[in-house]
Amino acid sequence: MKQFSAIFLFLILLLLRFFLFYQNQPQYQDGQQLEFEITLLSEPQTVGSLQRVIANLENGERIFITTAQFPEFHYGQTLRFSGDLKKRLLTNEKVILTMFFPNAKPVETPLKSGLALTSFIRQKVILLFEKTLPPNSSGLLLGVVFGIREGMDKTFSNDLRLSGVLHVVAASGMNVTMVGGFLSSLFGSILRRQIALVFSIFGILFYALLAGFEPSIMRASIMGIFAFSAQILGRQNLATYALFLAGYLMLLFSPSLIFDVGFQLSFLATLGLLHIKPLLFKKLVIGDDLTTTISAQAVTLPILLSNFGSYSLWSVIVNGLVLWTIPILMILGGVGAMFGLLIEPLGQLILYLALPFLLFFEMIVHASSKWGGVVALESFPWQIAVGYYGLLLATIVFFGKKKK
């Protein structure tokens, strides 16, 4: 009874936080003059002679900014933008806020030196990768290790999307979760369970560092660390409670995360690894990599369809074929980058070891992109999503009781 009372009290507190947060939200108008500061925690996207930046404001609003190519902006810079807001209606009838060619001025901040050092290291690593590997291979490895999508041609980027593995070259919350799952399986095959999970936590932190501590990465890392820490204590239920506690604290601190796709994907993917993967591993005679992929994608499918409008029917199979290379590529890419900053020839030698795995990955992606089977949806009804999750929950409860 005390447990339910505590849960009820926490829910009331969260609802009150949501009410107060959204009650005081500013209402932006088309053509409104706005000035704000942001720190770039990812590299701006360069498209022709333009730069594109996504500004995440403190109130949860996102502004899509388009500027000229020069002066170039970089990771770690704090910028003050001022300009006119424009509302844009997308094809899915979603309204977004945009700003074209605003006035932008660099701002000195106490964090500037630390972020500038991180940016300098990232640029050095990008040059090392591009100097050592072919364009698509270097772009793929940069995406896997750092979430940096540079150097890949448009054909290969489109093939990644069609084959359903575009998430591996994005510093996304779902990617962190899957990496944590792969690392725990890898270390678990050679080490004791508790020690393997400790190494997995350090692996997640290392990935977050390499990815530049982007917000989506940090949120997924915190959730993964909470869940893995609870698993070290040997209780599956405790891991679930830890995951919900992490999600609760994040929403209490920043209520706008409830609508953040990265937050939704990382939370659900972690939940899938905790509850679906153990059942699949017992029921199906398939590789651990494939069970990880199925577990993560089974719980995130409605989110992917409702937000991205397309899904490859071959995605699970293609992911199962290539995702076993991700831990290997992350280790070789991370170690190669680290040694390359100190002794460039040694770093290049280590990066050469990754080339066979990269070429295998590229071969599978090129081949699978021609299979077709991409389901495109203009909209995904919420009623279907609710029914899907209800059925999935019933299946997990049924097989979970049967397992016990």
How do 62-68 and 95-100 pair as beta strands? Answer: parallel
CA separation for the pair 144, 161 (Å, rounded): 15
Residue 233 pLDDT grade (very low, low, confident, very high; cuts 50, 70, 90): low
CA separation for the pair 64, 48 (Å, rounded): 17
101 and 184: one domain? no
Residue 246's pLDDT is what?
79
Mutual orientation of helices 2-23 and 236-253 as an angle, nearest 10°?
Answer: 30
Average pLDDT over residues 99-125: 73
183 and 64: one domain? no
Count of Cβ atoms closer than 10 Å to residue 156 Cβ: 20
For the domain that residue 100 is a member of, what is the CATH number?
2.40.50
Backbone CA torsion sign across 308, 200, 246, 217: negative
Q: What is the DSSP secondary structure assignment for residue 213, as one 8-state letter?
A: -
How many structural domains compose the chain? 2
Residue 329 located in a structural domain: no
Q: Pick from 64, 90, 109: which residue ends a domain?
A: 109
Model pTM score: 0.67
Residue 298's pLDDT is what?
79
CA separation for the pair 70, 160 (Å, rounded): 30
Residue 149 located in a structural domain: no
Residue 357's pLDDT is what?
92
Residue 383 located in a structural domain: yes
Residue 360's pLDDT is what?
93
Number of H helices, E strands in the chain: 14, 10
At 326-377, the pLDDT tens digits run 778 877 887 888 888 888 899 899 999 999 999 999 898 888 877 766 666 6
Residue 277 located in a structural domain: yes
291 and 382: one domain? yes
53 and 170: one domain? no
pLDDT at 110 over 70: no
pLDDT at 378 over 70: no
Chain centroid, CA 139 distance in Å: 17
191 and 90: one domain? no
Which of the two residues, 351 and 209, has the higher pLDDT score?
351
Average pLDDT over residues 97-109: 84
DSSP string, 99-130: EES-EEEEE--TTHHHHHHHHHHHHHHHHHHH
Q: Pick from 68, 92, 109: which residue ends a domain?
A: 109
Residue 213's pLDDT is what?
63
Residue 93's pLDDT is what?
66
Residue 1's pLDDT is what?
65
Task: Determine which of 106-115, 149-158, 222-231 has the lowest per-residue pLDDT on average.
Answer: 106-115
Q: Pick from 91, 109, 127: which residue ends a domain?
A: 109
Angle made by CA atoms 335, 341, 344, in degrees to the nearest 5: 90
285 and 398: one domain? yes
193 and 261: one domain? yes
183 and 247: one domain? yes
**Structural domain that includes position 98:** 33-109
Residue 50 pLDDT grade (very low, low, confident, very high; cuts 50, 70, 90): confident
Residue 124 located in a structural domain: no
379 and 232: one domain? yes
Residue 144 located in a structural domain: no
Residue 245's pLDDT is what?
81
92 and 188: one domain? no
Residue 87 located in a structural domain: yes
169 and 289: one domain? yes
Residue 288's pLDDT is what?
60
Share of the chain above pLDDT 70, in %: 76
State both tokens at 197.
């999970």
40 and 178: one domain? no
pLDDT at 161 over 60: yes
Residue 262 located in a structural domain: yes
At 261-319, the pLDDT tens digits run 777 877 887 788 777 877 776 655 455 666 776 777 778 878 877 776 666 667 767 77
